[in-house]
Amino acid sequence: MKKSVQTFLKHTTKDKINRSANPPVVRASTILFDTMQEMYNQEMKVKRHKKISHYTYGRYGSTTTIELENILKKLEEAYHVFLTGTGFGGIALALMSLCRPGDEIVVSDNVYGPTREISEKLLKEFNIFAKFYDPNSFEDLKNKVTKKTKMILVENPGSNTFEFQDLSKIVRLAKRNKVLTLLDNTWGTPLYLKPLKLGFDMSFSSATKYFSGHSDAMGGSLAVSKKVFKKIMFFYKLSGYRMSADEAYLIIRGLRTLDTRLNQHYHNTKIVIDFLKKHRKITEILYPHKPNSKNYKLWKKYYTGATGLFSIVVKSKNKSSVIKFVNSLELFGIGYSWGGFESLAILQELKPSKDEYSQGRKFFKYNKNEHIVRLHIGLEDPKDLITDLKQSLRYVK
């Protein structure tokens, strides 16, 4: 029977042995075999990417992580999915597996802060150099691809400023130049966008965010094509970049309701944005909500839905009053990450500075007296969220 993705998420990974609706949490370091030959045969199955129920050693994962790999492989329509202990671990896994001294990578300027740090700082120590391109300019990307380019790393939409790019053009450029491609798809999830179907070599999602959905688990998912599988598997097995069985179980639990939660996040977000776009202290909403805008058209071209993360541009001569606005919110927590059931708010500092944690954006243009506040709209009653925002925005001077 052919099943929709909604039905698949509810009926996958049954535990027929224990008659449980969910898979068991299997924690294991040593995996036992009846004979040496059985162990050798299992190792060959792993190397040849055969369907398996267990690995040969706990560093590669357990039956619980294999269950999650299989769910995400189906969602992503991927050759294989690698699971890491944190979201960022998936990005690091791709870069460390595929880039070598003398290589260059070309990175969209709007990437997640730690992605910028590893690209700009750590890889430099291995004689691997990063070039950042303007996500609003395909020509800028095109001009920065050279014979030394190993990979184009795209985040779509961009962290904090939410630029959408023409993904098919990027894939065509990469294939012409024999360059690998990696797309950070955390915002859209494979429910709304399948990068490998577009031609990307790798699709990354922070499983900490919407996959988990409950702000109580961390993990990363790197879905890959057959082209890069062997090299990534080689480094993955050596590095120990794997996810624990407990985290995998929690993420499987979260995935059961992914479609329902994302629908509600989007529904709530539309209602909140309808309020915010009329507010005089907000000059722009960084989200694909204007049908005549470039970002909306590119979102509509590639995505089948939208989620609950966006930014607002707040106009104020007094930065401390914007901080007071964020601090006074009662229903919006102040904290990193997003994708859980609760709403969050954070003031973003994107201007380059000497601070080692500065995200140092090169191409984003601030207007005078503008401040970016990122909001994640959770699963609360949107009327309550609007009331909270309304009472807090009065502090902006």
pLDDT, tens digit, 9 for 90 and up, residues 178-226: 999 999 999 999 999 999 999 999 999 999 999 999 999 999 999 999 9
CA distance 193 to 150: 24
How many CB atoms within 10 Å of residue 20? 11
pLDDT digits (tens, 9 = 90+) for 305-320: 999 999 999 999 999 9
Q: pLDDT category, 362, cuts 50, 70, 90? A: confident
Q: Residue 384 pLDDT more than 80? A: yes
Q: What integer pLDDT is reported at residue 194 of this predicted model?
A: 98
Which tokens is 7 given? 């039905």
Radius of gyration from C-alpha coordinates of the chain: 22
pLDDT digits (tens, 9 = 90+) for 238-257: 998 999 999 999 999 999 99
Q: Residue 14 pLDDT more than 90? A: no
Ordered strands of the 180-184 beta sheet: 80-84, 220-224, 202-206, 180-184, 149-155, 104-108, 129-133
pLDDT digits (tens, 9 = 90+) for 55-73: 999 899 999 999 999 999 9
SS3 336: coil
CA distance 281 to 247: 41
Among the listed residues 378, 140, 384, 125, the one whose alpha carbon sits nearest the alpha carbon of residue 267: 378
**3-state DSSP helix/strand/coil % of the chain, to nearest 5:** 40, 15, 40
Question: Fold for domain 258-393?
Answer: Aspartate Aminotransferase, domain 1 (3.90.1150)
**How confident is the model over 125-152, as a mean pLDDT?**
97
Cα 47 to Cα 29, 56, 79, 234, 358: the distances in Å are 19, 11, 14, 9, 41
CATH of 5-255, one of 3.90.1150.10, 3.40.50.300, 3.40.640.10, 1.10.3470.10: 3.40.640.10
N-to-C CA span, the chain: 60
Q: pLDDT category, 22, cuts 50, 70, 90? A: confident
Average pLDDT over the chain, rounded to whole? 94
Range name among 131-140, 326-335, 354-363 with the lowest pLDDT average: 354-363
- Numbers of helices and strands, H then E, in the chain: 15, 12
Q: pLDDT category, 38, cuts 50, 70, 90? A: very high
Which stretches does DSSP call E strand in 242-367? 282-286, 309-315, 332-334, 343-348
Indicate the domain borders of the chain.
Answer: 5-255, 258-393
Percent of the chain with pLDDT over 90: 86
Among the listed residues 380, 276, 274, the one whose alpha carbon sits nearest the alpha carbon of residue 331: 380
Q: Residue 359 pLDDT more than 70? A: no
Q: Residue 355 pLDDT more than 60? A: no
Which tokens is 310 given? 């966006």
Q: Residue 20 pLDDT more than 90? A: no
Q: Residue 352 pLDDT more than 80? A: no
Q: pLDDT category, 11, cuts 50, 70, 90? A: confident
